[in-house]
Amino acid sequence: MRTFNRLAFVSLAAMVALLSFPGTARACTGIRLLAADGSVVYARTMEFGIDLHSNAIIIPRQFTLTGTTNSGRPGLEWKSKYALVGLNGEGLTLIADGVNEAGLAGGIFLFPGYAQYQEVSADDEAKSIAPWEVVTWALSNFATVDEVREGLSGIKVGNVEFAAWKAVPPVHFVIHDASGKSLVIEYVGGKLNAYDNLIGVITNAPEFSWHLTNLRNYLNLSPKNVLTSTVDGERFSPLGQGSGMYGLPGDFTPPSRFVRAVALSQSAIPGATGEDAVHQAFHVLDSFDIPLGAVRSADVTETPREYTQWTSASDTKNRTFYFHSHDNRRVRRVDLLRADLNAAEVVSIPLFDQTDEQNLTPQSAGE
């Protein structure tokens, strides 16, 4: 029987528990773009303060996965109904962000100061999973947002602590499907909150409902330039392009990125196809890329230093996963439906994070 390597979660403590540390992974941004042919593209950035050593992985159908509990006893055990592809971390069988063969896509985002999961009794352990397993559980079991929403009532997501770090990862989640529906999943005060995400955007804290309220402060934003105005006979014209977006927040805080992500994704001109929307999504997310050193914790002089480690996009219509990394900006892709979805084991695809550049310097006549 193919089984999930539970021993890998000992190493996972080192990666995921860092999420709760100040200065790490506070700046991930997710968006959704729609193409003229009906394609739905979900894309995001992944920020972290240490190298996650991510690879693309394909989890095949009928692969056995097991939830993690605080007691060390097995949690929920299930076999993947759908194959899925995405990016992991530290070589683990874990999808931090990805898409499945039915066109369901989703990702994990930090949610510090707000995430508090459900109480899991001994009787509930057999139907429980840890926070970092939610996206893998969703993508391996379901085809639509509605199915995920219904399935959430049948599981428990516990406050699972990693012994090595004595921390519970504070995260929330976004799920998109090929119809364009989107769902934000948050656990606050031990209660599940599932929000319809009509605008398709997610960042980090505070709660998703707060971000929607905060958008009311930016109703003036528009992709259209401001017209010339006359004040007491004096004519005033904009100094240049972009005057309609004047006041758009440009910092890296979650509220500012949320507003910026809504403004840029909503004003983006739809591409003809999913592939066009993917390329547009990477351009939009360039606005959220954090150079190494631009964001640091005030009490940390060396590491962690938050930066954009990779950016990914999921074409939910064509079941294709795209990504580029901090050290290699070439966009690469995995066509899930062309892979062996019934493989015996998980397939790992290295990111190849070396610099990828082409020297176009013309040679002199003497060379």
- Distance, CA of 63 to CA of 93 (rounded, Å): 11
Give Cβ neighbours of residue 253 (< 8 Å, ≥ 6 apart): none
Q: In what order do the strands lie in the sheet with 182-188?
A: 191-196, 182-188, 171-176, 105-110, 97-100, 84-87, 56-59, 347-349
Phi, psi of 262 (to 5 degrees): -65, -45
Q: Whole-angstrom Cα distance, residue 167 to residue 154?
A: 25
Q: What gap in Å lies between CA 178 and CA 169, rounded to an integer?
A: 29
313 DSSP β-pair partners: 43, 322
Q: Under DSSP, is residue 174 helix (H, G, I), strand (E, B) or coil?
A: strand
CA–CA dist 283, 1 (Å, integer): 43
Alpha helices in the chain (DSSP H): 8-16, 134-141, 145-152, 208-214, 254-267, 274-285
Look up residue 124 and give its DSSP letter.
G
Distance in angstroms (rounded) separating the CA atoms of residues 265 and 183? 17
- Residue 288's identity, in one-letter code, is F
- Would residue 28 show up in a list of annotated catalytic residues for this protein? yes
Annotated active-site residue in 15, 16, 28, 96: 28
Residues annotated as catalytic are 28
